[in-house]
Amino acid sequence: MANDNSSAIATKGGQGSADEAMAWGGSPMYRFDKSFEENAALGPRFDEPFPQVPVVPSKSFFGLKVNSRFGIAAGPGINAKWLSAYSRLGFDILTYKTVRLYERIAHPVPNFAFIDPRSNVDADESTANTLAAPTLPLELAPTGGSIGMPSLPPEFWQRDIEVAKHALRDGQVLIVSIVGTTRPGMLQKAFVSEFETLARMVVEAGADMVEANLSCPNVNVAEGAVYKDLALSREIALAVRRGAGGRPVLLKVGHLGDSLDAFLRAVAGAADGVVMMNALARKVELPDGRPYFGPSRHMAGVHGGAIFELSLNAVKQATQLIRAEQLDLHIIGVGGASTPERAAAYLDEGADAALVASSAMLLPFMACALKAQRPDV
């Protein structure tokens, strides 16, 4: 692909003074010129000394003691190597990237793009245009991605989850994200049953909570848009609850729009929390109109700064409904929560936590910066 952002990413990541480097800098940990599988095998690129993480008052997250209500959403926590690094960098709610019962490889390089902030991606049929380099600071930059939902086989990830759990420090929790795998002729009952099996397996490996990933902009419609089927979403939540052994059950969703209230009512009592929201599925194009990720991947995920306002407004709407109708449900905000102010904004709107994904690959020191500036988060 003609438009490789990797050199621009490496340059932008290290700019600024020493203070700015501690606030947002350091070199990106993800090697954007290499495949997902290579990044998984190599572990994060982090050549700097690990920082002294600011000590902050402890908080509660689903009844568990945490140092902060800030962490990693499904995506950057590729495996134990990655989660161990994020743990040492002060991220306290750590999500192990989505696992399956069956092995699946990731999409090929390129997997990442910078999005022109002038792109209006709120509308369903909109197009996101790419840039060779970001025009905004990295912590605000809209980004795009196309990795898919790859997974190594269970015999690997079960052992690896155990390693990840042991790498966490006091005041940190491990969420493991799971997804069923659709196959030709598969009955819905079998698809739902996979979630129960996976939940049981990840809890046995050490998960403190289980997240059912009901949304992904980079896979087939059946797996990537489950959240749009309210009855099926509730059925999956109940299946995960059966397998989770009393651990909290979370549902990861995309942009629900006018269906948000109905979704929350449908899953309340089955799930304990909703993680919102995943990347928007949009056409991602080069300036000349060609698909950035290639002809077979015209649609991809748009995230980071591009979805902050949309996600924050959805969190606000969700928490208002939960309070008004006294639903037994919690909300976790995701999407552009990459500055102390933005992370705090999610909590101010009633979210129980704020998580980041793409920006954590770019800015490894953001958890330290947040704790220094907003120890209340």
Residue the block writes with tokens 């015209």: 298
- Structural contact between residues 240 and 210, judged by C-beta atoms closer than 8 angstroms: yes
Which residues face 213 on adjacent strands?
252
Q: What is the DSSP string of 311-343?
A: HHHHHHHHHHHHHHHT-S-EEEEESS--SHHHH
Tell me the whole-structure pTM to 2 decimals: 0.93
The pLDDT tens digits for 362-375 are: 999 999 999 999 99
Whole-angstrom Cα distance, residue 311 to residue 290? 28
**What are the domain boundaries of the chain?**
6-107+149-279+304-373
- Structural contact between residues 276 and 227, judged by C-beta atoms closer than 8 angstroms: no
pLDDT for 211 beyond 60: yes
Burial of 67 (0-12, 13-18, 19+ CB in 10 A): buried
pLDDT value, residue 123: 77
The pLDDT tens digits for 274-307 are: 999 999 999 999 999 999 999 999 999 999 999 9
Residue 198's closest CA among 185, 189, 211, 208? 211
Phi, psi (rounded to 5 degrees) for 211? -110, 125
pLDDT value, residue 220: 57
pLDDT value, residue 15: 32
Cα of first residue to Cα of last residue in the chain, in angstroms, is: 40
The pLDDT tens digits for 108-136 are: 999 999 999 999 898 787 899 999 999 99
Structure tokens at 243: 């397998």
For the domain made up of 6-107+149-279+304-373, give the CATH fold. TIM Barrel (3.20.20)
Handedness of CA 274, 275, 276, 277 (dihedral sign): negative
Residue the block writes with tokens 């962490």: 71
Residue 349 CB partners (closer than 8 Å, separation 6+): 312, 315, 316, 319, 333
Structure tokens at 65: 């003691």
